[in-house]
Amino acid sequence: MLHTTANVSSTALVKIAIPSVDILSACYMPFLKHKGLFVPSTQQRELGEQVFLVLRLEPAQVFAAGAAQVCWITPPQSSDGRVGGFGLHFDADNSELAEAIEACLVLSNSTIRPRTHTL
């Protein structure tokens, strides 16, 4: 999975390209109130930090963007072997990100979902 980040003003810009439905499924966090996405990364983020997410879903050739907040952090070398990174909770008034992800997952024919990076 490729991603880059850069700071823009006081809000961080997070760009991520997700190459497969299996990876998307492992990163998606539908259990959050406004849904969210786990971003595998070695970068340090703070809980509550505001970011602007630009998401490219390669399986469906879809782009989506919107504001989010860091709500989950998995250290780079967690004791349970999970992938390090941070989870983003989408803003309440931005449903574009969740809708794009869910549309991509619905279109996939895969019924077997991999272990997620969060729960």
What lies within 8 Å, CB to CB, of 78 at 6+ separation is 84
User: How much of the chain exceeds pLDDT 90, in percent?
Assistant: 54
Q: Is 4 in contact with 13 (CB distance < 8 Å)?
A: no
Domains in the chain with CATH codes:
2-107 (2.40.10.220)
Calculate the average pLDDT of the chain. Answer: 84
Residue 79: CB atoms within 10 Å: 6
pLDDT of residue 18: 94
pLDDT tens-digit map of 28-71? 999 999 999 999 998 889 999 999 999 999 878 899 999 999 99
pLDDT tens-digit map of 60-85? 889 999 999 999 898 887 777 788 89
